[in-house]
Amino acid sequence: MQFSSSGQPPVSDLIKERLPRTLELMAVAQIIAVSIAIPWSVLAASRANRRTDKISTVTAFAFVSIPSFAMAVILFYFFSVQWDFLPDTYTATDPFWGFSHDHRLIQLILPGFTLGLGSAAAYQRLLRTDLITTLQQDFILMAKSKGVSKRRVLYSHALRPSLFSMITLLAINIGFMIGGSLVVEQFFRIPGIGSAVVEATLREDFPVVLAVVMIVSAGFMVFNYLADYLYTLIDPRVRNEDTSKPRKVTSMGM
């Protein structure tokens, strides 16, 4: 982490400078993805196998299928070129918090949507399936029989126990987002880890590439541990489960 093979500053200095920019982008992208996926999943699950659900399925597969560079071009053309609604440049020296084009938070919205829409679609497909399964459980039928409103059943009773799979995917997706940031950071000229890898590869500066691989690997482990912790917050039964005893495994057909 101390040496660069191309006469550049030490790798540790490069990481300290670039990593916060990538973390900002990933945080914005994840917030966008989760904010879209949850209400989208609830809408689709509440109308399972109807026209709304089928349109939702087609839309989700479209978002998952569109590559990052194509999504970047589409969003950039409409929101920056045609409508001039969002800024098309990123300035690392600008303050983060604020709601004008001179604040990094607003500058990251377009890259965040580029990176987050595919993740939102993936989260939606997984959460929709789990919600449909949860809505068939006895405690949901009991809540409905007591006259609980449909909205409360969906958001207060069904959503919480259905989040486990999405949280797991969210933790795993952190690493894939770093891969996606290679294209997004280059396109929107964000000086982050992704653009650093591209620049290092072009000049054959392999210590930088190895350092980023180590960071991604460590990130996978950290976020998977965080996912396990979130399980205990969502469902107290996980926290109270006695993991010291081996679980009884039964074979199919035995």
Q: What percent of the chain has pLDDT over 90?
A: 28
Say if residue 69 is exposed, middle or buried (CB neighbours under 10 Å; 0-12, 13-18, 19+): middle
Q: Give the mean pLDDT of 15-36.
A: 91
Q: What is the pTM of this model?
A: 0.82
- The structural domains of the chain, with segments of one domain joined by +, span 16-239
57-71 per-position pLDDT tens digit: 999 999 999 988 899
Positive or negative CA dihedral for 6, 8, 10, 13? Answer: negative
CA distance 50 to 207: 53
Classify 16-239 by CATH class.
Answer: mainly alpha
89, pLDDT greater than 80: no
Lowest mean pLDDT among 144-153, 159-168, 230-239: 230-239
Q: Locate tokens 């600008």: which residue?
A: 94
